[in-house]
Amino acid sequence: MSREMRFTDPGEGIHEAEVVEVLVNAGDSVQEGDSVLAVETDKATTELPAAYGGEIEQLAVAVGDRVEVGDLLLTFAGDSDEAPDESAPAAQRPDPEPEPEPARAEPEQAEPEQATPKQAQSKQGAPEQTEAQQPETRRDDGGDGASHAPKRPHKGPVPAAPSTRRLARELGVALAQVAGSGPGGRVLDADVRGASEASETADTRQAERAEAPGSPERPATTEPEQPQPERGAAKPAPAASAEPLPDFSRWGDVERVELRSVRRATAREMARAWAEIPHVMHHDRADVTALERFRRAHVDEVAAAGGKLTLTVLVLKAAAAALRVMPRFNASLDADGETIVLKHYCHIGVAVATDAGLLVPVVRDVDRKSVRELAVELAELARRARDGELSREEMQGGSFTVTNVGGIGGRLFTPIIRYPEAAILGLARAELAPVVTGDIDAPKIGARLYLPLCFAFDHRLNDGAEAARFVNRIIDSLQDPESLLLSV
Amino acid sequence: MVMGDLPVETELLVLGDGPGGYATAFRAADLGLDVTLVSNEARMGGVCLLRGCIPSKALLHLAELAGGAREAADMGLDFGLDAHGPRWDLERVRHWTDGVVERLTDGLAELCERRGIQRIRGRGAFADARRLLLTDSDYSSIQFEQAIIATGSRPVAPPGIAFPAGGRIMDSSGALALADIPERLLVVGGGYVGLELGSVYAAAGSRVSVAEMADQLLPGTDADLVRPLHERLAKLFESIRLETRLESADEQGEQVQVALKGPDGDEQATFDRVLVAIGRRPNSDDLGLDAAGVELDDAGYIRVDAERRTSADNIFAIGDVAGGMQLAHKAMHEGKVAAEVVAGRPAAFDARAVPAVIYTDPQIAWCGLTEREAKAQGVEVAVSRFPWRASGRALTVGAADGLTKLLLEPETGRVLGFGAVGRGAEGLVAEAMLAVEMGAVAEDLALGIHPHPTLSETVGEAAERFLGLPTHLAPDRKRRPA
């Protein structure tokens, strides 16, 4: 009997991916753990290891295919084996040679054998069984708005306690749309709340009806941490899903392009962040004349060490220093809205524009690295981002973000906070501007270099005054390079 | 000014004060609504309390004692009874059951008063979707914003046969009146009403015959649950005629002549009394529902959605009149749903396991999916049975012929349904109901410690058996233990 290898969630709430590379052929012999396929999920490419050792019997996917968790990827020849990741208790595994007895009433002089509990004949191998044990996952169909129900192994009412069903009604969550993380796919209160958060701000959600057309979504895993936006697991409600677009072809030629990969992930994340976080924008500018001189003085030295000393690197340091003193900008608001999670680490994401789209690699422990180290690391991360070599891990774990569009242009913009962070610092183009000092009788006209700071913060966590102070701190650091370097 | 001229205005009109009606009125009042409860009966409680559940269970308790007293002789406890068994003093029995009913109905009336619910006696019919006209009442009409119809059901008479009050051809209410113990009683209808009441009369000394149209007593109930009951009733009753229908019944003097048609042909017989219990029909026929815009289905039940709302936006229907399982507790639950919806809360009727109990000896109880339903719906189930002959407690109460079974989803072990037959089965079904509603899996039942020695262990053991690890049975050869 063939052994099946199915696409399983690598553990981060991923539920679909695109096959970008098939590394084996039918007939190849592989060892368990050898890479057999490469799939792209959201923004990063992952290689999938062989679930078994043995001969590859048949490939079920090709490059370009979209697969969802549970889909068959390939089969291995050989005898029926235990699945390597079998986690179900043995009792729930169907017998290898079950007898498909119909469920009928039996005469009660039955000996125990006659009244044997009947096992359904399962045509699928053990991996399918595992899937039934795992929290179910969902297809995501963000683009055209129609969302699909979680794949459940069995039809019938969604397993959920009465209190959970009532909660779902109260929150306007359609149970059929929620993946259950309880045993056998039971939907728990936490699943319902998670789904509700995700769709809470969908414009067209009908709050009262249990059959809400809104599509609450939920990461398939129940990790205690905040879901990271770059995983794509925490999906915003497709607020656009409720109303279909008009038929544009009425007015001229149109072309339809699928929303895929990075673009798609970005669309989801931005919609969610914008819908859920009350943004306030605070704009100011820092006089970086002295800082720029400092930078120029040291740029070659850093280049020799393999790094690029940019204004961004220096801003990272200034931000880290400010975050240490004002930790509520380095925090997240818990899903229940009752707790602020303060982070005692400082990992800053730096937005990088690439051909594939906007990627945000995270520089870890900014507060513990020297300017030189940061310059080297950031340069490397940016290069890897542009070359499509970033791993998913490298895009996770950020507690703050810096985004610099100044290299391209712009005087002022309003960045969107990366859920579930508390703030984001945007940098626009540094420009020389005339400055008049002295007095009316002896005016001195000079030029200073100003860097526009476009700061967005979550007003639930911080107030305007605090934000202003935060930005002032950054400005003070940037205007006084020596203090910047001392404060690190 | 005559009271009848005063217009009554109310926020919520509840029509009918049986279990559905009063439960919905109480919940609505507790949620702050102004409630008016209309009923054509003098006492609260509906059929359930006045002429159904309560008096019948009181009588069945006595029947159980009577049966137990006879059995006790075999166990070494001799009550000194003669061949007739214990003597039934019908007047005192009626007095006692009436007392039980009286206490409960008075209690309901007091609960109404404490909640500030206005009670109006009268017969109601809708003039439109906002007004109810009253007859036989101190009031002429009621204006309401919302209404909940809970008018219940009544016994069906076979064509050509009437139930004259006090006659020898009785419906269930007549039988409960316990006018006398007929020497020979024919029970037409092998459903739970006929079997329960038949059991009472048999315990009191009647020679009881049952005629049922289907090929099984309790048609619609899983056969494995009915079998032990049939065996005991076959000894208790004089005869059980299956696939037999009543063609005619004529009261003649002190007896009733009946014509029966069975698989072996026609039969004429004479009985002292005949109880006809072949089903019930909804009380939806003279409520003026047309005028209110409330639609019925083909069988006369009021069409409702999950919120129990009818085709008229502001009118709801619950209980027997709304179809579904004709059970008091289902009506009560629906009543609470409707009250919450009227009060603006997001409630809906989504019960997965409405339990049912039959109070014969042995009792039968079930909830959730039955084997019949599973087959009809094409749902694959694993059935795990635990025979009571392996239960210590069952043997101590003389219930070795009992059975507990669980219906489970084969792959996940999720509990989909439960059934039991045996003395005391009524005490098992609530746990099973909770298991089904919560989406419990077999482990949840197996890993819970059930007290010993009780019948509830049979539930835990049925779950263990599914998992391949029974305790008081030998493990099945085919199953590998977990």
Residuewise pLDDT in 10s, chain B (482 residues)? 455 566 799 999 999 999 999 999 999 999 999 999 999 999 999 999 999 999 999 999 999 999 999 899 889 999 888 877 789 999 999 999 999 999 999 999 999 999 999 999 999 999 999 999 999 999 999 999 999 999 999 999 888 787 776 789 999 999 999 999 999 999 999 999 999 999 999 999 999 999 999 999 999 999 999 999 999 999 999 999 999 999 999 998 899 999 999 999 999 999 999 999 999 999 999 999 999 999 999 999 999 999 999 999 999 999 999 999 999 999 999 999 999 999 999 999 999 999 999 999 999 999 999 999 999 999 999 999 999 999 999 999 999 999 999 999 999 999 999 999 999 999 999 999 999 999 999 999 999 999 999 999 999 999 999 999 999 998 887 655 54
B445 lies in which domain range?
356-466
Any B CB within 8 A of A465 CB: no
The enclosing domain of B379 has a CATH number of 3.30.390.30
Tell me, yes or no, whether A286 and A362 share the same domain: yes
What is the sign of the dihedral through the CA atoms of B388, B393, B399 and B404? negative
Domain annotation covers residue A57 = yes
CB pairs under 8 A between A and B: 137
Give the residue carrying structure tokens 């007293």: B69
Tell me, yes or no, whether B327 and B441 share the same domain: no
Q: What span, in angstroms and rounded, lies between the C-alpha atoms of B10 and B12?
A: 6
Which segments within A309-410 are labelled E, that is strand? Answer: 331-333, 340-342, 348-350, 352-354, 357-359, 362-363, 400-404
Number of domains observed in the structure of chain B: 3
Domain annotation covers residue A255 = no
Residue ending a domain, among B278, B300, B325, is: B278
Tell me, yes or no, whether B364 and B436 share the same domain: yes
Tell me, yes or no, whether B252 and B270 share the same domain: yes
Tell me, yes or no, whether A392 and A473 share the same domain: yes
Domain annotation covers residue A112 = no
Tell me, yes or no, whether A232 and A293 share the same domain: no
Domain annotation covers residue A25 = yes
Residue ending a domain, among A240, A266, A288, is: A240
Tell me, yes or no, whether B112 and B7 share the same domain: yes
Residue B226 in tokens = 């009915």
Domain annotation covers residue A310 = yes
Please give the ipTM for the structure prediction.
0.73
Tell me, yes or no, whether A231 and A297 share the same domain: no
The enclosing domain of B206 has a CATH number of 3.50.50.60
Strands B141-149 and B315-317: parallel
Tell me, yes or no, whether A214 and A322 share the same domain: no
The enclosing domain of A462 has a CATH number of 3.30.559.10
Q: From chain A, pick out residues whose CB is under 8 angstroms from the CB of B438.
A: 161-162
A56 lies in which domain range?
3-88+124-129
Domain annotation covers residue A100 = no
Any idea what DSSP says for residue B1? Answer: -
Q: What span, in angstroms and rounded, lies between the C-alpha atoms of B225 and B235?
A: 17
Tell me, yes or no, whether B176 and B245 share the same domain: yes
pLDDT score, position B96: 97
Tell me, yes or no, whether B377 and B326 share the same domain: no
Tell me, yes or no, whether A461 and A347 share the same domain: yes
Tell me, yes or no, whether A321 and A451 share the same domain: yes
Residue ending a domain, among B316, B342, B368, is: B342
For B408, the closest chain A residue by CA position comes to A117
Tell me, yes or no, whether B146 and B293 share the same domain: yes
Is B375 close to A119, i.e. CB distance below 8 A? no
**Residue A140 pLDDT > 70:** no
Q: From chain B, pick out residues whose CB is under 8 angstroms from the CB of A104.
A: 371, 375
- Secondary structure of residue A114 in the 3-state scheme: coil
Tell me, yes or no, whether B298 and B272 share the same domain: no
Residue ending a domain, among B246, B278, B310, is: B278
**Residue A144 pLDDT > 60:** no
Q: B354: distance to nearest CA of chain A, Å?
A: 13
Tell me, yes or no, whether A222 and A294 share the same domain: no
Tell me, yes or no, whether B318 and B389 share the same domain: no
Number of domains observed in the structure of chain A: 3
Any B CB within 8 A of A96 CB: no
Residues in contact with B213: Cβ distance below 8 Å, sequence separation at least 6, in sequence order: B219, B243, B244, B245, B278
Tell me, yes or no, whether B376 and B436 share the same domain: yes
For B444, the closest chain A residue by CA position comes to A183
